[in-house]
Amino acid sequence: MDLQLSGKVAVVTGASKGIGLAVVRVLLEEGARVVAASRKSGPELEELAGPRLAHVAADLMDPGAPAQVVAHAVERFGGLDILVNNAGGPPPGARLPRFSFEGPTDADWREMFEFNLFAAVRAIRAAIPHLVARGGGAIVTVSSGGARQPAPMNVDYNAAKAGLNTLTKALSEEYGPRGVRVNTVSPGPVRTAWWTEEGGAADIIAAQAGTDRDTVMDTVAPQMMKLVTGRLVEPREVADMVALLASPRSASTTGADFAVDGGFLKEL
């Protein structure tokens, strides 16, 4: 399927690894021009270097950073058609999962919302005028299955992601008549650095369960989260959905949330 993304200009946040890196790769494969934003680049992102890719070093905990990223895209490529709010997860220096509401402090809650909600709000605020000026475009935000199926784990993270879902619905109503489509993609557990890096979720759960990190990722986590596929989601599987929603082929899809979660979400 031709996604009709050739020549489109996209901003992708959290782009140096995981889902963000996979989104950058898919968009480049589809012919888009991409501004990849992350605190620092990485070897896998650098392998994609070319005239249609620009990296912007940005710390999205800085309130001014999202607007600077959008401005760079407009200056470099002449406009903006797509915003992918992918950056999220544990704020810099934090480790998830947290197993109880009693764990996170006020400071933890503020940092979680700053990274997972407010950074996306600021990016959208900066992007909207440019999308409207092009006659429309697409905003795709990476949420989480935990926003719709909350549990007494990562409660601050899930609350921030629920805010993103509500924001998406509101934006789709306000800006749909002006040609801007707004949707969310809600992954389940994805085999990214959040799980795989040293001290990440796999190690934290392994310490709780008395097992090793590989067993957590291959067996314990899929069972604990009741994944019907029996495995963690791969980043490319989420990226493919993001690209489809960014595409003009999804012209009548807005205000929607799409689960790419291995069967994690059980509600209708």
Q: Where are the beta strands (DSSP E) in 50-90?
A: 53-57, 82-85
For residue 67, give both structure tokens. 């607007």
Among 17-31, 103-117, 199-213, 249-263, the least confident range: 199-213
pTM for the full model? 0.95
- How much is the average pLDDT of 53-80? 98
Q: To the nearest whole number, what is the mean pLDDT of the chain?
A: 96
* Distance separating alpha carbons of residues 101 and 231, to the nearest angstrom: 27
pLDDT of residue 268: 78
Helical packing angle, 106-113 and 155-175, nearest 10°: 30
Least confident of 94-108, 174-188, 226-240: 94-108
Q: Residue 120 has what pLDDT?
A: 98
**Sequence spans of domains, the chain:** 9-190+234-260, 192-232
pLDDT confidence bin for 179, thresholds 50/70/90: very high
* Phi/psi-derived region of residue 2, left when phi > 0, alpha when psi is between -120 and 50, beta in every other case: beta
Count Cα atoms within 13 angstroms, Cβ side, for 236.
3
157 annotated active-site: yes
CB–CB of 120/164 below 8 Å?
yes
What's the rounded mean pLDDT across residues 79-104?
A: 93
Q: Say which of 118, 157, 258, 264 is annotated catalytic.
A: 157
Q: What is the pLDDT of residues 121-159, one digit of tens each?
A: 999 999 999 999 999 999 999 999 999 998 888 999 999
Q: Give the residue from 184, 147, 164, 190 showing the smallest Cα distance to 22.
A: 190
Contact 185, 245 (CB under 8 A): yes
What are the phi and psi torsion angles at 9 (to 5°)?
-110, 125
Which residues in 134-222 belong to E strands, given as ranges? Answer: 137-142, 180-187
CA angle 86–91–93, rounded 5-degree value:
140
> According to the model, what pLDDT value does residue 232 have?
97
Q: How far is CA 264 from CA 189, 223, 237, in A?
A: 9, 10, 15
Give the count of beta carbons closer than 10 Å to the beta carbon of residue 266: 10
pLDDT of amino acid 207: 92
Residue 78, judged by CB atoms within 10 A of its CB (0-12, 13-18, 19+), counts as: exposed
Whole-angstrom distance, CA of residue 144 vs CA of residue 234: 14
Q: Looking at residues 84-95, what average pLDDT do you find?
A: 93
Which residue has 């909350």 as its token pair?
150
- Residue corresponding to tokens 């990214």: 192
Does the domain made of 9-190+234-260 have the CATH classification 3.40.50.720? yes
Is a pLDDT exceeding 90 seen at residue 177? yes
Q: Which of 237, 217, 250 is nearest to 22 (CA)?
A: 237
Length of the chain: 268
Percent of the chain scored above 70 by pLDDT?
A: 100
3-state secondary structure of 176: helix
The token pair that represents 256 in the structure block: 């929607």
Q: Distance between alpha carbon 3 and the CA centroid of its chain, in Å?
A: 20
Query: Can you tell me the mean pLDDT for 183-196?
Result: 93
The predicted-structure confidence for 220-237, as pLDDT tens digits, reads as follows 999 999 999 999 999 999
Residue for token pair 């998406």: 168
Residue 221: half-sphere exposure toward Cβ, Cα within 13 Å: 26
